[in-house]
Amino acid sequence: MPLRLRPLKALLQTRTLCLPLHPRISNFHTSQAHSQPRIYDSVRSTGAFHTLLLAHTASSTPLITYWTTSYCPACRVVKPLLWRAVESSNGKIGLVEVELDAPGDIRELGLRYSIRKVPTVMVFVRGESVGEWRAEGGDERMKGKVLERFVEEVGREGSNKGWGSGGGGFWGSLFG
Protein backbone atom coordinates (compact mmCIF):
# COMPACT_ATOMS: atom_id res chain seq x y z
CA MET A 1 0.00 0.00 0.00
CA PRO A 2 1.56 3.35 -0.99
CA LEU A 3 2.07 6.04 1.58
CA ARG A 4 -0.59 8.68 1.27
CA LEU A 5 0.15 12.24 2.46
CA ARG A 6 -2.67 14.48 3.56
CA PRO A 7 -2.76 18.02 2.24
CA LEU A 8 -1.55 20.69 4.67
CA LYS A 9 -4.93 22.43 4.65
CA ALA A 10 -6.65 19.26 5.84
CA LEU A 11 -4.01 18.72 8.50
CA LEU A 12 -4.49 22.23 9.86
CA GLN A 13 -8.25 21.77 10.04
CA THR A 14 -8.06 18.55 12.03
CA ARG A 15 -5.20 19.29 14.44
CA THR A 16 -3.97 22.22 16.44
CA LEU A 17 -0.53 23.23 15.31
CA CYS A 18 1.64 24.55 18.14
CA LEU A 19 4.87 26.29 17.32
CA PRO A 20 6.90 27.36 20.35
CA LEU A 21 8.07 30.92 19.79
CA HIS A 22 10.26 32.70 22.26
CA PRO A 23 9.75 36.49 22.06
CA ARG A 24 13.46 37.27 22.26
CA ILE A 25 14.29 34.91 19.46
CA SER A 26 11.42 36.04 17.22
CA ASN A 27 12.44 39.71 17.56
CA PHE A 28 16.11 39.12 16.76
CA HIS A 29 17.22 40.33 13.32
CA THR A 30 20.75 40.25 11.98
CA SER A 31 20.02 41.64 8.53
CA GLN A 32 19.40 45.24 9.63
CA ALA A 33 22.16 47.53 10.81
CA HIS A 34 21.76 48.95 14.30
CA SER A 35 21.00 52.64 13.85
CA GLN A 36 19.76 53.65 17.31
CA PRO A 37 22.06 54.42 20.22
CA ARG A 38 22.64 51.69 22.78
CA ILE A 39 22.69 52.52 26.47
CA TYR A 40 24.31 49.82 28.60
CA ASP A 41 24.14 49.01 32.30
CA SER A 42 26.90 50.43 34.50
CA VAL A 43 30.33 48.86 34.19
CA ARG A 44 31.90 47.82 37.49
CA SER A 45 34.90 45.72 36.39
CA THR A 46 37.77 46.02 33.92
CA GLY A 47 36.71 42.79 32.23
CA ALA A 48 33.23 44.10 31.49
CA PHE A 49 34.68 47.38 30.22
CA HIS A 50 37.13 45.66 27.87
CA THR A 51 34.42 43.33 26.55
CA LEU A 52 32.19 46.29 25.72
CA LEU A 53 35.09 48.20 24.18
CA LEU A 54 36.01 45.20 22.00
CA ALA A 55 32.40 44.80 20.84
CA HIS A 56 32.28 48.45 19.75
CA THR A 57 35.70 48.18 18.13
CA ALA A 58 34.55 45.15 16.12
CA SER A 59 31.39 46.92 14.97
CA SER A 60 33.23 50.24 14.28
CA THR A 61 30.80 52.19 16.43
CA PRO A 62 31.90 54.84 18.94
CA LEU A 63 31.50 54.20 22.65
CA ILE A 64 30.81 57.13 24.97
CA THR A 65 31.94 56.39 28.52
CA TYR A 66 30.64 58.36 31.49
CA TRP A 67 33.13 58.20 34.38
CA THR A 68 31.53 58.81 37.76
CA THR A 69 31.49 58.00 41.48
CA SER A 70 28.61 57.48 43.89
CA TYR A 71 29.52 60.55 45.98
CA CYS A 72 29.74 63.06 43.10
CA PRO A 73 26.94 65.69 43.16
CA ALA A 74 27.86 67.11 39.72
CA CYS A 75 27.56 63.60 38.27
CA ARG A 76 23.90 63.46 39.29
CA VAL A 77 23.29 66.70 37.36
CA VAL A 78 25.19 65.74 34.19
CA LYS A 79 24.01 62.12 33.89
CA PRO A 80 20.37 62.82 32.89
CA LEU A 81 21.55 65.50 30.45
CA LEU A 82 23.93 63.06 28.76
CA TRP A 83 21.39 60.21 28.71
CA ARG A 84 18.74 62.53 27.21
CA ALA A 85 21.20 63.72 24.54
CA VAL A 86 22.12 60.14 23.60
CA GLU A 87 18.50 58.94 23.56
CA SER A 88 17.49 61.78 21.25
CA SER A 89 20.40 61.22 18.88
CA ASN A 90 20.03 59.08 15.80
CA GLY A 91 23.64 58.01 15.55
CA LYS A 92 25.17 54.57 15.84
CA ILE A 93 26.76 55.02 19.27
CA GLY A 94 26.96 53.30 22.63
CA LEU A 95 26.86 54.82 26.10
CA VAL A 96 28.02 53.26 29.35
CA GLU A 97 28.57 54.55 32.87
CA VAL A 98 31.86 53.55 34.53
CA GLU A 99 31.63 53.57 38.32
CA LEU A 100 35.13 54.36 39.58
CA ASP A 101 34.31 53.70 43.23
CA ALA A 102 32.85 50.23 42.64
CA PRO A 103 34.56 47.43 44.55
CA GLY A 104 37.18 45.49 42.64
CA ASP A 105 39.67 46.42 39.96
CA ILE A 106 37.78 49.24 38.23
CA ARG A 107 40.06 51.95 39.68
CA GLU A 108 42.85 50.65 37.41
CA LEU A 109 40.87 51.93 34.42
CA GLY A 110 40.71 55.41 35.93
CA LEU A 111 44.48 55.41 36.26
CA ARG A 112 45.01 53.98 32.79
CA TYR A 113 42.87 56.64 31.10
CA SER A 114 44.00 59.47 33.43
CA ILE A 115 40.58 60.22 34.89
CA ARG A 116 41.40 62.91 37.45
CA LYS A 117 37.98 64.55 37.80
CA VAL A 118 34.43 63.32 37.72
CA PRO A 119 32.23 63.54 35.84
CA THR A 120 34.28 62.90 32.72
CA VAL A 121 32.87 61.87 29.36
CA MET A 122 35.37 60.02 27.15
CA VAL A 123 34.81 58.76 23.61
CA PHE A 124 36.42 55.61 22.23
CA VAL A 125 36.58 54.92 18.49
CA ARG A 126 38.14 51.68 17.26
CA GLY A 127 39.41 50.98 20.78
CA GLU A 128 41.27 54.27 21.15
CA SER A 129 40.33 57.24 23.31
CA VAL A 130 39.77 60.13 20.89
CA GLY A 131 38.50 62.87 23.17
CA GLU A 132 36.98 63.76 26.49
CA TRP A 133 34.74 66.36 28.12
CA ARG A 134 34.66 67.39 31.76
CA ALA A 135 31.78 69.19 33.42
CA GLU A 136 33.30 72.46 34.60
CA GLY A 137 31.05 75.11 36.13
CA GLY A 138 28.37 76.79 34.02
CA ASP A 139 24.64 76.40 34.16
CA GLU A 140 22.67 73.25 33.45
CA ARG A 141 21.18 74.54 30.18
CA MET A 142 24.62 75.26 28.75
CA LYS A 143 25.90 71.82 29.76
CA GLY A 144 22.86 70.24 28.13
CA LYS A 145 23.44 72.10 24.86
CA VAL A 146 27.15 71.24 24.84
CA LEU A 147 26.37 67.58 25.50
CA GLU A 148 23.75 67.51 22.73
CA ARG A 149 26.26 68.93 20.27
CA PHE A 150 28.94 66.56 21.56
CA VAL A 151 26.73 63.47 21.13
CA GLU A 152 25.50 64.65 17.73
CA GLU A 153 29.10 65.00 16.55
CA VAL A 154 30.05 61.60 17.96
CA GLY A 155 27.16 60.00 16.07
CA ARG A 156 28.01 61.77 12.83
CA GLU A 157 31.80 61.49 12.87
CA GLY A 158 32.22 58.26 14.83
CA SER A 159 32.94 55.99 11.90
CA ASN A 160 34.97 58.50 9.87
CA LYS A 161 38.68 57.92 9.56
CA GLY A 162 39.58 61.45 10.60
CA TRP A 163 38.52 61.07 14.22
CA GLY A 164 41.10 61.97 16.78
CA SER A 165 43.49 63.47 14.23
CA GLY A 166 43.05 66.97 15.68
CA GLY A 167 41.83 68.37 12.36
CA GLY A 168 38.37 69.83 12.00
CA GLY A 169 34.92 69.26 13.33
CA PHE A 170 33.94 69.39 16.97
CA TRP A 171 37.28 68.10 18.27
CA GLY A 172 39.24 70.59 16.23
CA SER A 173 37.21 73.44 17.67
CA LEU A 174 37.72 72.20 21.23
CA PHE A 175 41.23 70.79 21.17
CA GLY A 176 42.80 72.14 17.94
**Residue 155: how many CB atoms within 10 A of its CB?**
21
pLDDT digits (tens, 9 = 90+) for 20-51: 444 443 344 443 455 678 999 999 999 999 99
Residue 120 reports pLDDT greater than 50: yes
Smallest Cα–Cα separation from 121: which of 174, 54, 58? 174
33-157 falls under which CATH superfamily? Glutaredoxin (3.40.30.10)
Quick count: other Cβ atoms within 10 Å of Cβ 169? 15
Q: In what order do the strands lie in the sheet with 128-134?
A: 38-39, 94-99, 63-68, 120-125, 128-134
Would the pLDDT of 14 be above 70? Answer: no
User: In sequence order, what are the beta bridge partners of 4?
Assistant: none
Angle among Cα 103, 52, 34 to the nearest 5 degrees reads 145
pTM for the model stands at 0.70
